[in-house]
């Protein structure tokens, strides 16, 4: 989990059930999917080329719809924006 504002509270609530990271790229290393649940600048500025080399599976689930689907797909990611039809 990477959330610069909520990390401390999450540690108290979730304890050891989650892996906590101070760096977004550390957080996505070897994951099956990148789940974007906040619209922090770090998420908006995610370097998709760098991210693609870190993830196990190139899948982005964008709950906030902050990324441009076509851009993510052009970088080799499957992109799912919550509230968007699968064709979009």
CATH numbers and ranges of domains, the chain: 7-81 (3.40.50.720)
Question: Which helix (DSSP H) or strand (DSSP E) does residue 35 occupy?
Answer: strand 34-36
What three-state secondary structure class fits 71?
helix
Whole-Å CA distances, 1 to 7, 22, 30, 73, 75: 8, 9, 13, 23, 23
pTM, two decimals, is: 0.83
- Residue 12: its pLDDT value, please? 74
β-bridge pairing 59-62 and 34-36: parallel
- Residue 6: its pLDDT value, please? 67
- Residue 85: its pLDDT value, please? 72
Model confidence pLDDT, tens digit, residues 7-59 = 677 667 777 777 888 899 999 999 999 999 999 899 999 999 999 999 999 99
Residue 63 above 90 pLDDT? yes
Q: What would you measure as the largest C-alpha separation in the chain, in angstroms?
A: 39
């Amino acid at each position: 989990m990477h959330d610069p504002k909520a990390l401390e509270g999450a540690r108290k609530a979730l304890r050891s059930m989650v892996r906590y990271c101070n760096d977004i790229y550390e957080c996505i290393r070897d994951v099956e999917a990148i789940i974007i649940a906040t619209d922090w600048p770090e998420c908006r500025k995610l370097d998709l080329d760098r991210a693609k080399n870190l993830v196990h599976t190139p899948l982005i689930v964008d709950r906030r719809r902050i990324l441009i689907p076509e851009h993510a797909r052009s970088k080799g990611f499957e992109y799912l924006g919550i509230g968007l039809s699968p064709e979009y």
